[in-house]
C-alpha cells in the first residue's frame, strides 16, 4: 500500500473516532479532602453540554456527552436531547448513581435489606426511562457495593441479589440500548467489592442478557494487570461494551488519558485495531464499542485537560493504525519474539502529530486544538459569563 493510500485509511479511522465526554468532567470535583472550585464551572446540565460542545468544536472528535443521574436530572429529558442536538451533540450513556445516598451505606443492589435493594432498582429503572426519553445508546451501572470486614455479609447471597437485579434492569431497558456493567477492584469498600473484576462483570452480563456488556475503566485495576489482554478476551467474547478512559499512578486517579502510561493506551488500542474495530463506533449493535472518558480534574483546568485527553487518544489510535498487521502475524508464526515486539515498537515510536495536523486541516479544525482553545480567549469569556449561581459539583 502506498504512503498516500495508507494516510487516507488512517484519516478514515480518525473520522470514525467518536469520543464520549463525561458531563461530570466539567463540574467541580475533588478528593475526600477538598473540592477546589474553578472559574467558569457550569451551573446546570445545559452548561455542561455547552462545554462538551466547545471541546467538540476544537477537536471534531467528541459528538457525545454522557449524563450522570441524579447529578444531571432535568425536568424534561427529551428537551435536553434537543438542546444537545442544537449544539451538534448527542446524549451518550446514562450513568446510574446508587453510591451517594444515605440509604446505601451497606450497598445498593447487593444490600441485605430487600427494601433498599428495591429503591436502588427503582433508580436504575428511572435511568432506563431516561435512556428511552433521550435516545441514549446505553445505561451504564457502576456499584459502590461491597463490605469492609470479613463476615459482614454473605458473598454468594450478594452475588445472587446483584445478578437478579441486572436481569430485571436488562428486561426493562428500551431496545436497542446496551446495559454496560462496570467493575472496580476496591473502593469505597475495602475488604470485598461485589463487582470486583472483569470476570465478575462478564458473568453478570451473561446472566443479564444479550445486550449486557462490560465497561473497562482503565483506572479500575490492581497495579501490573494486563488490561490489553482483558480487552482482547472481552472483544473475542463479544462482550466489550465501552471504555472509561483516564490514567492512574496509584489508584482510581482519573487523570488525563495517556498522561502516566501512554504505552498501555497504545497496547489497548492495538487490540481494537487488530480485531478490526474502530474506537468510538457507538450504538447498541453487536460489536459496537463506546469510547467514554471518565476523568475528574481536581486542580487543573477542565476544558484544556479534556482537549489534551482527546488529542492524546487520537495520537495513540493513529499509532495503533500504523502497526503492520501482516508482518506482525508472520513474525508471530515464525516465533520471532524480538521481531514481533519490534513491529509494535516501530508503530509506537512513530510521531503521529504531523498526520493528525493534516487530518485536522483537511476538516477545517485547528492543527493544535489545545493551543487554539487557549489562544481564543474562550476560557476567560466562559469565566466572566458564569459568575452568578452555584457551580455544579458532587459535594
Ligand atoms: C467509579 O469510580 C466510576 O469510575 C464510575 O464510572 C462512576 O460512574 C464514576 O466513576 C463517577 O465519577
Ligand atoms: Mn468509570
pLDDT tens figures, 144-186: 999 999 999 999 999 999 999 999 999 999 999 999 999 999 9
Q: How far apart are CA 194 and CA 242, in angstroms?
A: 20
Ligand 1 atom 3, closest CA = 142
φ, ψ of residue 54 to 5 degrees: the values are -65, -45
Residue 342 CA to ligand 2 center (angstroms) comes to 33
For residue 94, the ligand closest to its alpha carbon is: 1
Ligand 1 atom 6, closest CA = 142
- Is the shortest distance between the CB of 142 and ligand 1 below 6 Å? yes
pLDDT > 70? residue 4: no
Whether 244 and 221 have beta carbons less than 8 Å apart is answered as no
Grid coordinates representing 26 are: 466539567
Residue 360 CA to ligand 2 center (angstroms) comes to 29
Ligand 1 atom 1, closest CA = 142
Residue in 21, 71, 97, 142 to alter for ligand 1 test, most ligand atoms within 8 A of Cβ: 142
φ, ψ of residue 230 to 5 degrees: the values are -60, -45
* Band (274; pLDDT cuts 50, 70, 90): confident
The confidence score (pLDDT) of residue 74 equals 97
Residue 251 CA to ligand 1 center (angstroms) comes to 13
The confidence score (pLDDT) of residue 279 equals 47
pLDDT > 90? residue 326: yes
pLDDT > 60? residue 30: yes
Residue 244 CA to ligand 1 center (angstroms) comes to 9
In the 3-class helix/strand/coil scheme, how is the chain assigned residue by residue? CCHHHHHHHHHHHHHCCCEEEEHHHHCECECCCCECCCCCCCCCHHHHHHHHHHHHHHHCCCCEEEEECCCCCCCCHHHHHHHHHHCCCEEEEEECCCCCCHHHCCCCCCCCCHHHHHHHHHHHHHHHHHHHHHCCCEEEEECCCEECCCCCCCHHHHHHHHHHHHHHHHHHCCCCCEEEEECCCCCCCCCEECCCCHHHHHHHHHHHCCCEEEEEECCCCCCCCCHHHHHHHHHHCCCEEEEEECECCCCCCCECCCCCCHHHHHHHHHHHHHCCCCCCCCCCCCCCCEEEECCCCCCCCHHHHHHHHHHHHHHHHHHHHCCCHHHHHHHHHCCCHHHHHHHHHHHHHCCCHHHHHHHHHHCCCCCCHHHHHHHHCHHHHHHHHCCCCCCCECC
Residue 24 CA to ligand 1 center (angstroms) comes to 10
The pTM for the full model equals 0.96
* Band (5; pLDDT cuts 50, 70, 90): low
Rounded to an integer, the average pLDDT of 73-82 is: 98
pLDDT > 90? residue 389: no
* Band (351; pLDDT cuts 50, 70, 90): very high
Q: How far apart are CA 20 and CA 368, in angstroms?
A: 20
φ, ψ of residue 357 to 5 degrees: the values are -65, -40
Residue in 72, 219, 244 to alter for ligand 1 test, most ligand atoms within 8 A of Cβ: 244
- Is the shortest distance between the CB of 24 and ligand 1 below 6 Å? yes
* Band (395; pLDDT cuts 50, 70, 90): low
The confidence score (pLDDT) of residue 284 equals 39
Whether 228 and 271 have beta carbons less than 8 Å apart is answered as yes
% pLDDT > 70, the chain: 95
Least confident of 53-57, 92-96, 205-209, 298-302: 298-302
Residue 105 CA to ligand 2 center (angstroms) comes to 20
Whether 250 and 221 have beta carbons less than 8 Å apart is answered as no
% pLDDT > 90, the chain: 89
Whether 61 and 19 have beta carbons less than 8 Å apart is answered as yes
* Band (32; pLDDT cuts 50, 70, 90): confident
- Is the shortest distance between the CB of 252 and ligand 1 below 6 Å? yes
**CA angle, 21 as apex, 18 and 23 as ends, to 5°?**
155
Grid coordinates representing 30 are: 475533588
Residue in 182, 214, 243, 298 to alter for ligand 1 test, most ligand atoms within 8 A of Cβ: 182
Q: For residue 180, which of 122, 141, 228, 123 has the smallest C-alpha distance?
A: 141
- Is the shortest distance between the CB of 244 and ligand 1 below 6 Å? yes
- Is the shortest distance between the CB of 294 and ligand 1 below 6 Å? yes
- Per-residue pLDDT of 119-140, as tens digits, reads 999 999 999 999 999 999 999 9
Residue in 145, 243, 294 to alter for ligand 1 test, most ligand atoms within 8 A of Cβ: 294
* Band (288; pLDDT cuts 50, 70, 90): confident
- Is the shortest distance between the CB of 95 and ligand 1 below 6 Å? yes
Grid coordinates representing 318 are: 493513529
For residue 143, the ligand closest to its alpha carbon is: 1
The confidence score (pLDDT) of residue 81 equals 98
Residue in 35, 201, 217 to alter for ligand 1 test, most ligand atoms within 8 A of Cβ: 217
Residue 227 CA to ligand 2 center (angstroms) comes to 15
What residues are neighbours of ligand 2 (ion), with CB under 5 Å?
217, 244, 294
Amino acid at each position: 500500500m502506498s504512503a498516500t493510500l495508507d494516510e487516507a485509511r488512517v484519516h478514515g479511522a480518525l473520522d470514525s473516532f467518536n469520543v464520549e465526554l463525561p458531563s461530570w468532567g466539567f463540574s467541580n470535583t475533588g478528593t475526600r479532602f477538598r473540592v477546589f472550585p474553578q472559574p467558569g464551572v457550569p451551573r446546570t446540565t445545559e452548561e455542561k453540554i455547552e462545554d462538551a460542545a466547545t471541546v467538540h468544536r476544537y477537536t471534531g472528535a467528541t459528538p457525545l456527552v454522557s449524563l450522570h443521574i441524579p447529578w444531571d436530572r432535568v425536568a424534561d429529558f427529551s428537551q435536553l436531547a434537543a438542546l444537545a442536538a442544537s449544539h451538534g451533540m448527542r446524549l451518550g450513556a446514562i450513568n446510574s448513581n446508587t453510591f451517594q445516598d444515605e440509604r446505601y451505606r451497606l450497598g445498593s443492589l447487593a444490600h441485605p435489606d430487600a427494601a433498599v435493594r428495591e429503591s436502588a432498582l427503582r433508580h436504575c429503572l428511572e435511568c432506563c426511562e431516561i435512556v428511552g426519553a433521550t435516545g441514549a445508546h446505553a445505561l451504564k451501572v457502576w456499584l459502590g457495593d461491597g463490605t469492609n470486614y470479613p463476615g459482614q455479609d454473605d458473598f454468594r447471597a450478594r452475588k445472587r441479589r446483584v445478578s437478579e437485579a441486572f436481569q430485571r434492569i436488562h428486561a426493562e431497558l428500551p431496545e436497542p440500548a446496551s446495559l454496560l456493567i462496570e467493575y472496580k477492584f476496591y473502593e469505597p469498600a475495602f475488604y470485598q467489592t461485589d463487582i470486583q473484576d472483569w470476570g465478575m462483570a462478564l458473568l453478570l452480563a451473561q446472566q443479564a442478557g444479550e445486550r449486557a456488556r462490560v465497561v473497562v475503566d482503565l483506572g479500575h485495576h490492581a497495579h501490573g494487570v494486563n488490561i490489553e489482554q482483558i480487552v482482547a478476551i472481552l472483544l473475542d467474547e463479544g462482550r466489550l461494551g465501552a471504555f472509561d478512559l483516564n490514567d492512574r499512578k496509584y489508584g482510581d486517579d482519573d487523570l488525563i488519558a495517556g498522561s502516566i502510561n501512554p504505552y498501555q493506551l497504545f497496547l489497548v488500542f492495538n487490540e481494537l485495531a487488530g480485531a478490526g474495530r474502530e474506537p468510538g463506533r457507538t450504538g447498541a449493535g453487536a460489536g459496537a464499542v463506546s469510547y467514554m472518558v471518565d476523568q475528574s480534574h481536581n486542580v487543573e483546568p477542565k476544558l484544556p485537560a479534556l482537549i489534551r485527553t482527546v488529542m492524546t487518544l487520537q495520537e495513540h489510535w493513529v499509532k495503533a493504525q500504523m502497526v503492520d498487521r501482516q508482518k506482525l502475524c508472520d513474525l508471530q508464526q515464525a516465533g520471532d519474539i524480538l521481531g514481533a515486539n519490534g513491529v509494535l515498537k516501530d508503530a509506537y515510536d512513530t510521531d503521529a502529530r504531523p498526520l493528525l495536523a493534516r487530518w485536522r486541516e483537511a476538516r477545517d479544525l485547528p492543527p493544535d486544538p489545545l493551543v487554539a482553545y487557549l489562544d481564543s480567549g474562550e476560557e476567560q469569556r466562559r469565566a466572566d459569563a458564569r459568575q452568578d449561581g452555584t457551580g455544579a459539583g458532587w459535594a
